[in-house]
Structure 1
Amino acid sequence: MEPSLDTSAAMPTAPAPALPRTVYPILGAISFSHLLNDMIQSLILAIYPMLKSNFALSFGQIGLITLTYQITASLLQPLIGMYTDKHPKPYSLPVGMGFTLSGLLLMSVAPSFPFLLIAAALVGCGSSVFHPESSRVARMASGGRHGLAQSLFQVGGNAGSALGPLLAALVVIPHGQRSIAWFSLAALVAIVVLTQVGRWYQRHPLAKKRGAQAAHAALPRNKVVLAIGILVLLVFSKYFYLTSISSYFTFYLIERFHLPVQAAQIQLFVFLAAVAAGTIIGGPIGDRIGRKYVIWVSILGVAPFTLLLPYANLFWTGVLSVVIGVVLASAFSAILVYAQELIPGKVGMVAGLFFGLSFGLGGIGAAVLGQLADATSISYVYKVCSFLPLIGMLTVFLPDIEGKRAKA
C-alpha cells in the first residue's frame, strides 16, 4: 500500500512545473508596445491647438476628430475580441499597429479636415486590434496575478499617453505638421516587438485551447447583467472626466491662466504621468484586497478633488490634477479583471468591450464637451464634469464575486 501512496502523492506534484508563472519579459514587451501605441495617440490629442490654428477648426470639430478615432476603436474592439476568443490570431498585433502607422503618416500630410478624420479613423482601427489582443496576452502571461498583469500592461499605455504631450511640445509644435511623420519610427519599433510577442503567443498552449476554456459564471445571468451595467456607468464617469482633461486641459489652462501652449502641454504631461503612476497601483492592490474595494475608492474617492478643481488657482490646479490622475487611474485594471471574472472564458470579448467603451465614451465625451465649450466656456465644462465621479456611489451594488480569490 505504501508504494501506491507514494505514487499518488507524486501524481499531484507532476504538473507543478507546468503551473503558470508570471512571464515578465512578455509583460514588459506588451507594456512597451502599449507605451508606443498610446504615445502616438496622445501626440494627436496634444497637437489639437496646432491643428485648430492651421485648419481654423472649432471646438466642435476638435471633438469630432476625437469622436472619429474613439468610435472606430470602440465599435470594432468587442467584435475583434469575441472573434479571437474562438479563433486566436497571434500576428494580428503587428497588423493592427500597421493601421496606426498609416494613420500617422496621413495626418502628417493631411491637407484638410476630412483627411484628418480619415487619419484618426485609421489610428482607431489600429487600437481596435491592439487593445483586446494585448490584454489577452497580458492575462496569458500573468501566472494568475491578473490585476498585476493588467496594471503592468496599462501603465505602459498611460506612460505613453503622458509622453505624447511632452513630445508634441518639444518636436511637433516647433517643427509643424510634417514632423508628425517622424513618429512613424515608434510604430515601426512596435511592429517589430509585437511580431516577437506574436511568436510567443502562437506557441502558448492557451492559444490552442481558447474555445475550450468557457467556464460557468459565479452568478445568475440577471445579476451578471446588472453588475456589467454598473461597471459601464462607472467607466462612463471615469472616461468622460478623463476626456475633459486629455482633450481640453490645455485650452482650460490657456483660457483661465493665460499660459503659453508649451507650458500648458507640460501641465498635461504632468497630469498624464500621474495617471500612469496611479495605474500601476490598482491592479496589485485589487489582487490583494479585492477589485470592488479598489473601484469604490478610485471612482468615488476622487470626487472631492474634482469638485475643487474648477475653483483652484494655478498652483492648486496642478496639485489637484496630480491627485485626480493618481486616484482615478487605479480603477480600470480592477474594473477589467472584475468583469473578466464575471464572464469567465471571454477574456477578449470583455477586454474589447471595456476598452471599446472607454474609447467610445471618451469620444462621445470629447464631442459633447466640445459643443458645450463652444456654447459656454471651457471653465463651465470643468464645473459640469466635476460631479461625474459621484456616480461611483453605484459601486455599493456590485456583488462580491471574489471572496478568498482576492488574496491569491
Structure 2
Amino acid sequence: MKALKKRILSACCGAHILHDGYTDLLYVMFPIWQMAFGLSLAEVGSLKTLYSGAMASLQVPSSMLSERVGEKRLLLFGSLIAAIGFLLSGWTTGFLGLAACLVLSGIGASVQHPLSSSLTSHAFEGPELRGALSTYNFSGDIGKVLLPSLCAVLLAIWDWHTVTSVMGLLGLIAVILLSIVLPKTKVVNNPKAQSAKPTGDISEKYAGSNFLNLGFVSLSSIAVIDSATRMGFLTLLPFLLVSKGATVTQVGFGLGLTFAGGAAGKFVCGFIAARFGVIKTTLITEIATTILMGLTLPLSLDVVMLMLPLVGIALNGTSSGLYGTVPELVSPHMRSRAFGVFYTLTIGAGAISPLVYGFAGDRLGVPNAIALIAVSVLLVLPLTLGLKKVFRRLEV
C-alpha cells in the first residue's frame, strides 16, 4: 500500500513538473516569437492570454469529465494534447498557427492541477495528506526552473522550431512514463460511490453535500486574494528594483532569489500547516507578506536583495496550506470538481491582477501600488473567521 501511494505521488509530481514547465517556458519563447513573426507586445500578450485562458476555463469541465472516464485516463490524455500542441508549434509559420497550438496545449494543461491534486488526496489521508500535497505543490517549481532553463540552453544550439518540437517530444516521453508509473484508478469521484468506507476525516461530515459550503467558499476567497496579490507584486517588483538602481542582471538575480524562496515556502509551509493548522499558518504568512512588502519600499537595494528569499517564502507559503485544506472541506466524491473550481479561481485571479495593479502603478506610481498590494493582503484575515467557524463545528 505504501509503495502504491509513492507511485501515485511520483506520477502526479511528474505531471506537475511537465505542465508547469510548459507554462513557464513560454516566457523564454515570447521574445523569440516576437522577432520571428514581427509581433506587437499586445499580440505577444494575447498568446499568454490564449494559453492561460484555455487552461483556466477548462479546469472544472475536465474535473467533471474525470468523474465519468477516470482520472488517470484523462490526465494522460490531457498531457498528450499539451505535448502535441508544443510539438506542432515547431512546424508553424505564422501567428495564427502558433496561437492555435498554444490554445491546444492550454486545453491539455487544464486537466493537470485538479486531477493530480485529486489523485493525491485519494491516495493519502489524515496527517499524510498535507505533506503529500505540499510535495506535489513544490514539484511544480522544479518544472518552472528545469524546462525553461533547458529551453534557453537549446536555443543557443538550435532554432526555435526545433526547440519547441523537442519540448513536445519530451512531453510524449513523459506521457509514456506516466502511463507506466501511475496505477490504474477507478472512477471514484462518482456520486454513486458515496458508500465508500469512512476514513474518519472531517470531510466525511460533508459526504453527499454540495462542495460549495462555507468552509470551501472561505478557503477559495483567501486563495483568490493570495494569488492576486502575489502575481501583482511579482509584476511590479522588477520596476521597484530598477527604481532603486538595479541593473537588468540584478533584477533577474532578484527574481531568482524570490522564486527560490517561494519554492522553499511552498514545501515547508505545507508541513507547518499540518502541524499548526491552516488558519494559524495563513495568519502568519499573510501578515509576514504585508510587513515584508512594506519593508521593500524604504530600504536600500542591497538590503532588499537580501530580503527577497524571505519575501518569496511568505508570498508562496500560504498556497500549500490552502491547497492541502481543500480535501478536508469536500466530500471525497466531489474532490476533483472542487479542485477544478479552486484552481480556476486562483489561476483566473493571478491572470487578471497584473493588469489591475499595473494600471494602479501607472496612475499611482510603483511604490504606492505595492503599498496598496500590501494592504490588500490583509483582506484575508477576516475570511479566516469563516474557516475557524467551520472547523469548530466539525470538531464537535
TM-score by length of 1: 0.78
1:394, CA displacement in angstroms?
2.4
In structure 2, the CA distance between the partners of 1:191 and 1:21, relative to structure 1 (3 Å rule), is closer
1:304, CA displacement in angstroms?
0.8
1:355 matched to which residue of 2? 343
In structure 2, the CA distance between the partners of 1:115 and 1:209, relative to structure 1 (3 Å rule), is closer
In structure 2, the CA distance between the partners of 1:364 and 1:402, relative to structure 1 (3 Å rule), is same
Which of 83, 105, 111 does residue 87 from structure 2 map onto?
105
**8 Å contact 2:133–2:320 — kept in the other structure?**
yes
1:38, CA displacement in angstroms?
0.9
1:233, CA displacement in angstroms?
2.8
In structure 2, the CA distance between the partners of 1:174 and 1:396, relative to structure 1 (3 Å rule), is same
**8 Å contact 1:230–1:394 — kept in the other structure?**
no
Matching of residues 124-273 of structure 1 within 5 Å:
124-144=106-126, 145-167=128-150, 169-172=152-155, 177-178=160-161, 179-198=163-182, 200-202=183-185, 207=188, 211-213=192-194, 217=205, 225-244=213-232, 257=245, 259-260=247-248, 264-273=251-260
**8 Å contact 2:30–2:44 — kept in the other structure?**
yes
2:199 matched to which residue of 1? none
> Are residue 68 (structure 1) and residue 50 (structure 2) matched?
yes
Which of 320, 325, 332 does residue 338 from structure 1 map onto?
325
1:156, CA displacement in angstroms?
0.6
**8 Å contact 1:39–1:163 — kept in the other structure?**
yes
What secondary structure does 1:201 align onto?
Answer: coil
2:288 matched to which residue of 1? 301
1:392 matched to which residue of 2? 380
2:306 matched to which residue of 1? 319
Deviations 1:266-287 (A, max 9, x none): 5433322222211112322222
Question: Which residue identity lines up with residue 265 of structure 2 in the other structure?
Answer: G
1:155, CA displacement in angstroms?
0.8
**8 Å contact 1:372–1:381 — kept in the other structure?**
yes
Q: Which moved more, 1:153-162 or 1:308-317?
A: 308-317
1:327, CA displacement in angstroms?
2.0
Q: Which moved more, 1:149-158 or 1:374-383?
A: 374-383
Distance in 1 between residues matched to 2:60 and 2:189, nearest whole Å: 21
Distance in 1 between residues matched to 2:44 and 2:373, nearest whole Å: 18
* Unmatched segments (≥5 aa) in structure 2: 196-202
Distance in 1 between residues matched to 2:368 and 2:93, nearest whole Å: 33
1:159, CA displacement in angstroms?
2.0
Deviations 1:236-262 (A, max 9, x none): 2222233236666567656764534x6
Distance in 2 between residues matched to 1:366 and 1:110, nearest whole Å: 29
Distance in 2 between residues matched to 1:267 and 1:230, nearest whole Å: 33
In structure 2, the CA distance between the partners of 1:126 and 1:340, relative to structure 1 (3 Å rule), is same
* Unmatched segments (≥5 aa) in structure 1: 1-17
Deviations 1:379-407 (A, max 9, x none): 6654543333222222431233446999x
> Are residue 79 (structure 1) and residue 67 (structure 2) matched?
no
2:198 matched to which residue of 1? none
Question: Which residue identity lines up with residue 303 of structure 2 in the other structure?
Answer: W
**8 Å contact 1:88–1:210 — kept in the other structure?**
no
Distance in 2 between residues matched to 1:180 and 1:376, nearest whole Å: 40
1:10 matched to which residue of 2? none
What secondary structure does 1:23 align onto?
Answer: helix
Matching of residues 23-42 of structure 1 within 5 Å:
23-42=5-24
Question: Which residue identity lines up with residue 238 of structure 1 in the other structure?
Answer: D
In structure 2, the CA distance between the partners of 1:255 and 1:398, relative to structure 1 (3 Å rule), is same
Percent identical pairs in the alignment equals: 20
Question: Which residue identity lines up with residue 269 of structure 2 in the other structure?
Answer: G
In structure 2, the CA distance between the partners of 1:216 and 1:25, relative to structure 1 (3 Å rule), is closer
Distance in 2 between residues matched to 1:138 and 1:341, nearest whole Å: 13
TM-score by length of 2: 0.80
Which of 40, 57, 62 does residue 40 from structure 2 map onto?
57
Question: Which residue identity lines up with residue 102 of structure 1 in the other structure?
Answer: I
**8 Å contact 1:290–1:402 — kept in the other structure?**
no
Question: Which residue identity lines up with residue 330 of structure 1 in the other structure?
Answer: G
Which of 288, 293, 313 does residue 275 from structure 2 map onto?
288
In structure 2, the CA distance between the partners of 1:136 and 1:225, relative to structure 1 (3 Å rule), is closer
Question: Which residue identity lines up with residue 243 of structure 1 in the other structure?
Answer: M
What secondary structure does 2:145 align onto?
Answer: helix
In structure 2, the CA distance between the partners of 1:343 and 1:290, relative to structure 1 (3 Å rule), is same
